[in-house]
Amino acid sequence: MSETISFETLLAEVKYDAGGLVVCVTQDATSNEVLMVAWMNEEALRLTFSTGDVTYWSRSRKSLWRKGETSGHVQKLKEARIDCDGDTILLKVDQTGAACHTGAPTCFFRKAL
């Protein structure tokens, strides 16, 4: 089951934490592989939807961060979803280059058994 909602509806349903942030899981739109997990605030969400370039909130720098701004490893938004509780965003993207700052295609390249 999938329900289509407007961007404004999605924004109205987001439940930000005390710092005004929401968790964002980013997934490759073609392979469905999870690329990374980051944080967004309302401004990052609005910029992502208005430009199509995924923008996050950097907690360490306390500033907006457009993915690929310096590396060229950009993420282009294909689809956005919100979970049933409203406290997590899922972005499906077209990824150019590596998603991880280590140079790995995904931040989830280590596994434990």
CATH topology of domain 7-95: Ubiquitin-like (UB roll) (3.10.20)
Give percent above pLDDT 70 in the chain: 100
Secondary structure class of 23 (helix, strand, coil): strand
Residue whose entry in the numeric block shows the structure tokens 């980013």: 26
Against a cut of 0.75, is the pTM above it?
A: yes
Distant-in-sequence contacts of 5-9, Cβ < 8 A, 24+ apart: 5/82, 7/49, 7/80
Q: Read off the pLDDT band of 49 (50, 70, 90).
A: very high
pLDDT of residue 98 exceeding 80:
yes
Burial 52-84 (b: 16+ CB within 10 A, else e): ebbbbbeeeeeeebbbbeeeebbbebeebebee
Contact at 8 Å (CB) between 3 and 79?
no
